[in-house]
Amino acid sequence: MARDPLLELADRHLIRYVPGFAPFLVERARGSWVYDRDGNRILDFTSGQICSTLGHNHPRIVEAIRDACDRVLHLNSWMLSEEVVRLAARLAELLPAPLEKVILLNTGSEANEIAMRMAKLATGRFEVAGLDQSFHGLTAGVASVTYSVPHHGYGPQLPGTFALPAPYAFRCPVKRRADGTAGCPGCDLSCLERGFEMFDANSTGTLAAVIAEPVLSAGGVIDPPPGYLRRLAELTRARGGLLIVDEAQTGFGRLGTMFGFEQDGIVPDIVTVSKTLGGGLPLAATVVSPEIEERIVERGFVHVTSHVSDPLPAAVGLAVLDVVIEERLPERAATMGRRLRDGLLELAGRHPLIGEVRGRGLLLGVELVTDRESRRPAEELGARATDECLARGLSMNIVRHVGANSVWRIAPPLTVSEDEIDTALSIMDDSLTAVAAGAGAG
Ligand SMILES: Cc1ncc(COP(=O)(O)O)c(C=O)c1O
């Protein structure tokens, strides 16, 4: 395929914020598909940056944007609009009590940054712990508890930040896995208990918060065992800290329930939502109880940013939530997720490159290994298999932590059809076969 000449301009003028850009430019996107400037179509099994759970350019989102263009886009931070008030109320309705006080922001990084600032102000403490392999954003504060991206070269991280081991059963951090089976059926959460023992050894007794994703997506779709978040909440609260659950990717249905934390029967102290709330537009929120809100306001909480409480994204958020509820997308994620998982397990039966299939709902991971005995990450073969998929019209992330793992992260829109799932599985099958045979579509 000839290289799009506009990519030369990209080479000249764009900062390379990722190791490599896609080899094509996108002209338009609809539903589960993106279309390049040559008219090729590609199945987008990452929903953009895991944001477009309704599919690309959903008509209800487009309509909400058009409507906002006719009325109001942006306001001074102290002025409120109807959509902002309604979206805050809507989020409070969807979340369990006492989570009913909302601030509307732009990105996941910002929502987590604010969650950490609120936890510090509310508790009067400053230590924050996160899980190894987590991703919570790359602004200075949250980058300190984002452990799936190296900290090297960026100078001091926030004082008082700690990493707890990730509950990565396939590569158990406390080496408890007794047999060669996938997952860790007899997991007793030793890594979590040991992690807090290590934390206590380091802590000055001033834990403000622990932050966690329900499934560690960027770390390689690491799926904590049942009861993990519950125990995490207990251990955090026993030390006087608040539990922040980051639902950036999992909020509004992806795991088969409205929120990921519901599956462990807990209510976090602070919830952040972002990516999936805006359906492709920058919109995020941090939600706390009236008690926490009262305390931080008494202590002088201020967060005035240029786009706090902007009306346009809030109108989009309302449209997204309407569609999520009307089309019962959490249930749909569970059903379609089963079809996709069954297909992946069938592929695992035939392709030894697949070491494990894991995840929940429509957030699934396929860990690629050179062989199942050593479980060595298939870095080179995995990259080739991903390129093969793209050449055949399927875009998926490969999450690669050099020397640590190599995992396909699969997160199609929740509106994905059965046919699209079957097409993706067939492309994965062909690509794995081509890589195993040392051939390729080129
Ligand atoms: C779980 C999680 N939290 C936070 C973020 C950061 O969000 P943003 O990129 O919108 O700042 C991400 C981004 O990938 C994420 O996956």
Residue 441 lies in a domain: no
Which two structure tokens, joined as six digits, stand for 334?
């569970």
- Residue ending a domain, choose from 302, 326, 350: 326
Express each pLDDT in 209-254 by its tens digit. Answer: 999 999 999 999 999 999 999 999 999 999 999 999 999 999 999 9
Identify whether residues 19 and 100 lie together within a single domain: no
Ligand 1 and 137: CB distance under 6 A: yes
Residue to mutate, 50, 109, 139, ligand 1, most ligand atoms under 8 Å from C-beta: 109
Structural domain containing residue 332: 6-58+328-436
- Asked whether residue 153 is domain-assigned, the answer is yes
Sheet holding 354-360, edge to edge: 354-360, 363-368, 405-410, 397-401
**Domain of 100: which CATH number?**
3.40.640.10
Domain contains 442: no
In a domain, 168, yes or no: yes
By the 8 A CB rule, do 308 and 105 touch?
yes
* Amino acid 2: pLDDT: 79
CB of 108 closer than 6 angstroms to any ligand 1 atom: yes
Query: In percent, how much of the chain has pLDDT > 90?
Result: 90
The answer to the question of residue 1 being in a domain is no
| pLDDT value of position 19 | 87
* Cα distance between residue 161 and residue 130, in whole Å: 8
Q: Residue 295: which of 148, 135, 164, 118 has the closest Cα?
A: 118
Q: Is the distance from the beta carbon of residue 367 to the nearest atom of ligand 1 less than 6 Å?
A: no
Question: How many domains does the chain divide into?
Answer: 2
Same domain flag for 159 and 305: yes
User: Within this chain, do residues 51 and 69 fall inside the same structural domain, yes or no?
Assistant: no
| Whether the predicted pLDDT of 438 surpasses 90 | no
Take atom 3 of ligand 1 and give the residue whose Cα is closest.
136
- Could you tell me the distance, in angstroms and rounded to a whole number, from the CA of residue 217 to the centre of ligand 1? 10
Determine the distance separating the centroid of ligand 1 and the alpha carbon of 89, expressed in angstroms: 23
Residue-level pLDDT at 182: 44
* CATH number of 340's domain: 3.90.1150.10
pLDDT digits (tens, 9 = 90+) for 73-99: 999 999 999 999 999 999 999 999 999
Judge if 95 and 160 occupy the same domain: yes
Over residues 25-42, the mean pLDDT reads 97
Tell which atom from ligand 1 comes closest to the C-alpha of 112. Answer: 4
Single-letter amino acid, residue 41: R
Are 220 and 244 members of one domain?
Answer: yes
Q: How many residues does the chain have?
A: 442
pLDDT tens column, 348-404: 999 999 999 999 999 999 999 999 999 999 999 999 999 999 999 999 988 877 777
The DSSP call for residue 281 is: B
Same domain, yes or no, for 105 and 25?
A: no
- For residue 184, name the pLDDT band (cuts at 50, 70, 90): low
How does DSSP classify residue 166?
Answer: P
Q: What is the mean pLDDT of residues 399-418?
A: 90
Do 71 and 155 have their domain in common? yes
Please tell me whether residues 101 and 83 are part of one structural domain.
yes
For residue 339, pLDDT over 50 is answered with yes
Query: Which residue CA neighbors atom 8 of ligand 1 most closely?
Result: 108
Q: Which of 308, 326, 344 is the last residue of a domain?
A: 326
Same structural domain, 312 and 360? no
What is the predicted pLDDT for the residue at 180? 44
CA atoms within 13 A on the CB side of 36: 22
Q: Is the CB of 213 under 6 A from ligand 1?
A: yes
d(CA 405, CA 399): 8
Which pair of tokens denotes residue 194? 């040991």
Residue 181 has pLDDT above 50, yes or no: no
Question: Among candidates 260, 396, 397, 426, which has minimal Cα distance to 334?
Answer: 260
Residue 250 in contact with ligand 1 by CB distance below 6 A? no
Assigned domain for 366 exists: yes
135 lines ligand 1 (CB under 6 A): yes
Residues 334 and 312 placed together within one structural domain of the fold: no
Q: What is the pLDDT of residue 261?
A: 98
Residue 396 counted as domain residue:
yes
- Angle formed by the axes of helices 190-202 and 228-238, nearest 10°: 20
Q: Is the CB of 105 under 6 A from ligand 1?
A: no
Judge if the beta carbon of residue 107 lies within 6 A of ligand 1: yes
Give the integer Cα–Cα distance in Å for 404 and 299: 43
Q: Is the pLDDT of residue 441 over 60?
A: no
48 and 115, same domain (yes or no)? no
Atom number of ligand 1 nearest to Cα 139: 11
The alpha carbon dihedral of 205, 208, 213, 219 has a sign of negative
Return the best residue to mutate from 49, 110, 134, 136 for the ligand 1 pocket (most ligand atoms within 8 A of CB). Answer: 136
Same structural domain for residues 104 and 218? yes
- Cβ–ligand 1 distance for 293 under 6 Å, the answer no
For the segment 286-336, what is each residue's pLDDT rounded down to a tens digit? 999 999 999 999 999 999 999 999 999 999 999 999 999 999 999 999 999
Last residue of a domain, one of 272, 298, 326: 326
Give residue 179's pLDDT band: very low, low, confident or very high (50, 70, 90).
Answer: low
Mean pLDDT, rounded, of the chain: 95
Q: Is the CB of 217 under 6 A from ligand 1?
A: yes
Residue 388 lies in a domain: yes
Specify the pLDDT at position 246. 99
